[in-house]
Structure 1
Amino acid sequence: MTKLSRRPSLRVSSTRRCCERMNGKRWRCSFLACPCRRGKNMMPDHDRLREVAGLFLKLGLIGFGGPLAHIALMERECVQKRRWVSADEFLDLMAFTNLIPGPNSTELAIHLGVVRAGRIGGIVSGVLFILPAFVMVTALAHFYTRFGNLPSVGAFLEGMKPVLLAVVTVVVVQLAKTALADWETRAFAGLALLMMALTRQELVVLIAVGVVAMAWRRWRGAVLGIATLPAAMSQVVPFSLPLMAGLFFKIGATLFGTGYLLITYLQADFVERTGWLTQRQLLDAVAAGQLTPGPVLTTAAFIGYLKAGLLGAFIATVAIFLPAFLLVLLLSPLWQRGKQWRPLRGALRGINAAVVVLLAWTLMQLGLSLLKSSFAITLFLFALVLHWRRGDATWLMLAGGIVSIFFRWVLR
């Protein structure tokens, strides 16, 4: 009789949860954290964690170019090079990150860490992906508080702002092509524009349009009444760390679509409603987040440092990213059962349309306040053309700052 080789016992249930006994250890995991998929031998825990840590620290250091660049890097490393997941599984993870609020590329990093090394791996991958940007943005904030009033630094920052507007303009146009592809999504966008004009409450707009889109997808033509909240009054609110943490947590828990929607939230919460930032400080903070690698939501560290030093930077960063960790780690096991629920996908269509409207609304406000000189308008138009032709946003912003210094000190 042929002697059969001993293999780890494997049991898979109908809900795709499985257990594996190997090397005297018992493993239990969800679909997204299964160490025995595709029949590969398991690496020891510490080796997997070390692998995850090294990869996402590297991606956090080289991840210039925004979320699309981050996703492309992760696809190359985790699908093509290391084969942690298949191409279809990677697309599945991307779909899940689009269905939940939070920064998509950071959530994808957490997902991939969970796939490779369980929930601890997800925490490690997310933290190390964020860490380089946090350090760089905090350093820029320190430099800004000490030297931001110098004429040369001021000229450099002023030159970056029209370029930043051009970058966001291209993002809005590209998103609109995808999100407003048919008459239904354009109707949702019209509803979002009307509600934004009436309420000036971006969170109310997102929720209401999402509910309407979900109802439309399910009942096709049902009439849904929406109650709106009164527009917020501009006022100066005394600063406090708990209130700042609460605002950033709210942003992280409700930020759908592109990370550039962060500008809309910051404009509403930190400039208009609390008066904690000037519009110049807001744009400088966003520019710092754009200049550094990693997720743009590390802009929160810049704002936190301006208001409360290093402790403020740390609290702001934790608050804005905490919802992403909680949502991924808690909801990922439910993804396989819920991903085909049609009303949920209908709500996402409406939310994406509303995101485009909110971005365009904020872009219009910023443009009216910034593009007041012929130099700023010219710089904006040049940057718009170059970025539309695939010019790198980071280099364009640096070039805009240098050109601004040149015009101020040489031609004047």
Structure 2
Amino acid sequence: MVTEKIDPCEELSTAPCFSEAARFWFRLGLISFGGTAAHIGIMHDDLVERKRWIDNEDFLHALGHCMILPGPEAQQLAIYLGWRLHGIKGGVVAGVLFILPSMVVLLALSIVYARFGNLPWIAAMFSGLRPAALALVLLALTRLAKRSLVEPVQWVVASGAFAVMSWLHASIPFVMGAAIVMGFILAKFRRGSVSSTRSMPVYEASIANPAMRKQALLSLAKITAVGLGIWLAPFLALYLFGRGFPFWAQLGLFFTRTAFVTVGGSYTVIPYVAHAAVSRYHWLSQPQMLDGFALAETTPGPLIIVVAFVGFMAGFHHFHGSILMGTLALLLTTLYTFLPCFLFVFAGTPLVRWTQHNRSMKAVLNLVIAVVFAAMVDLALFLARGVLFHAKTYAFADLDWIAVAVVGLSIFLLGTRRTKLGTVIGLSLGFGIVRCLIRSW
């Protein structure tokens, strides 16, 4: 199932050629500031609303599945959508280009940081991007609510999820698990209240077909074998030709484990990585971890890319200030953190297609989308406090009216005037530079 090539002309009348899609994924990797919510908003706005390459129902169905998987859901969604358009090569290109620009930028910043120490001017210069990022999140919230929250129960779940995450500080995986259980209960209740006479759905027919089951299992075996080969190759090379192999083994195994055990996106991964890197392995200090988090916020791509900085500092310190070893550690950290994302998505694509018409899974994923919405609201409030207020409060006297104006202008340009995101990002970056210069005078 995974290896079959999709004919764009058959599935999507407006599907792009491969080169056009590759240009989009590269552009997305360059401009995807603002975290997961903004990434999802950009993809939905471009792929569903503007270009119409992906159907809205397909997009939301895939998003629900990606939210359940371990790892960064925005990158996994990009991988799936790339696969949806152009098969495995499309998924690989989409996933790689989604993180490549941020990895390169963070590598450059890490080298400068290792040589010259803390760089407050970077955060000051890029602070102008934060109002635009907040505008992207708010627009994404509006569109997600309009398109996907169509049932009263979804609004109830979204409200409850926001309350427990914001006020009780419940973790996203816990809330997600509760929503999944509730979704299956609601599906069972609804199934019992309607007639059971219906034709066999597409997913049931697929599962019941031995040939299709065999093909899916064969594809899964091939994907697993290729992934295992890619995972083992650096270990073998370092064992035979490198030095300090115990360090490399520790680094690779830790970030592989991180990719498999963390559910709920960047905000559940980062505390886990920070605690282990600082307290258990002593790869870097707590202030350096905070600086890395700040640097990651100023780069495009997923916030979890901060692990690349952690890997760089681990290699840099272990090999006594070697930039080369730090760079190698950054590359390996990125590989071992994001490789499982490709495996999860490619192995799960038959499940996504089979569950497209499954009533139980549709009910579950509808509630998962409600939890996504709640998490985005919680993130929007978190961003708003840092963007719109001088202090970490919601006091009216501390409101930054210039930032409010930039957010409003960004929403107007993106939502009403349909201005290209790159233009708004450029204006916001210019705003940050000018404001930094004015303050320095």
TM normalised by structure 2 equals: 0.59
**Alpha-carbon distance, 1:166 to partner:** 4.6
Q: Which residue type is aligned with residue 152 of structure 2?
A: W
**Alpha-carbon distance, 1:193 to partner:** 3.0
Match of 2:154 in 1: 185
Match of 2:125 in 1: 156
What is the distance in 1 between the residues matched to 2:374 and 2:57?
A: 27
CA deviation profile, 1:130-173 (whole Å, cap 9, x unmatched): 43443234334434554573454343144444554454344344
Match of 1:33 in 2: 5
Match of 2:435 in 1: 404
Cα distance change on mapping 1:326 and 1:337 into 2, 3 Å: same
What is the distance in 2 between the residues matched to 1:36 and 1:388?
A: 33
What is the distance in 2 between the residues matched to 1:378 and 1:31?
A: 53
Select the residue among 405, 408, 416 that pairs with 1:382: 405
Match of 1:209 in 2: 179
- Count of matched residue positions in the alignment of Structure 1 and Structure 2: 329
List gaps (5 residues or longer) in structure 2: 11-16, 33-38, 67-72, 193-249, 279-285, 316-325, 392-396, 415-420
Match of 2:96 in 1: 127
**Alpha-carbon distance, 1:325 to partner:** 1.7
Which has the larger helix fraction? 2
Select the residue among 426, 433, 438 that pairs with 1:395: 426
- 2:308 matches 1:301: yes
Q: Is the 8 A contact 1:301 1:314 kept in 2?
A: yes
| Matches for 1:12-31 after TM superposition, within 5 Å | none
Q: Is the 8 A contact 1:185 1:350 kept in 2?
A: yes
Match of 1:20 in 2: none
What is the distance in 1 between the residues matched to 2:297 and 2:81?
A: 22
| Matches for 1:37-52 after TM superposition, within 5 Å | 52=18
Match of 1:107 in 2: 80
Q: Percent identity?
A: 21
Match of 1:4 in 2: none
CA deviation profile, 1:241-282 (whole Å, cap 9, x unmatched): 64344334445xx45xxxxx63x3356545689776766643
Q: Is the 8 A contact 2:296 2:303 kept in 1?
A: no
| Matches for 1:65-84 after TM superposition, within 5 Å | 66-67=39-40, 69-70=42-43
Q: Which residue type is aligned with residue 177 of structure 2?
A: I
- 2:86 matches 1:97: no
CA deviation profile, 1:152-204 (whole Å, cap 9, x unmatched): 43431444445544543443444344444442112112331344244532211
- Matched residue of 2:357: which SS? coil
Q: Which residue type is aligned with residue 387 of structure 1?
A: S
**Alpha-carbon distance, 1:339 to partner:** 1.3
**Alpha-carbon distance, 1:62 to partner:** 2.5
Q: Is the 8 A contact 2:106 2:309 kept in 1?
A: yes
What is the distance in 2 between the residues matched to 1:169 and 1:57?
A: 27
**CA RMSD after TM alignment:** 4.3
TM normalised by structure 1 equals: 0.63
Match of 2:390 in 1: 372
Q: Is the 8 A contact 2:149 2:155 kept in 1?
A: yes
Select the residue among 192, 214, 219 that pairs with 2:189: 219
- Matched residue of 2:413: which SS? coil
**Alpha-carbon distance, 1:307 to partner:** 5.2
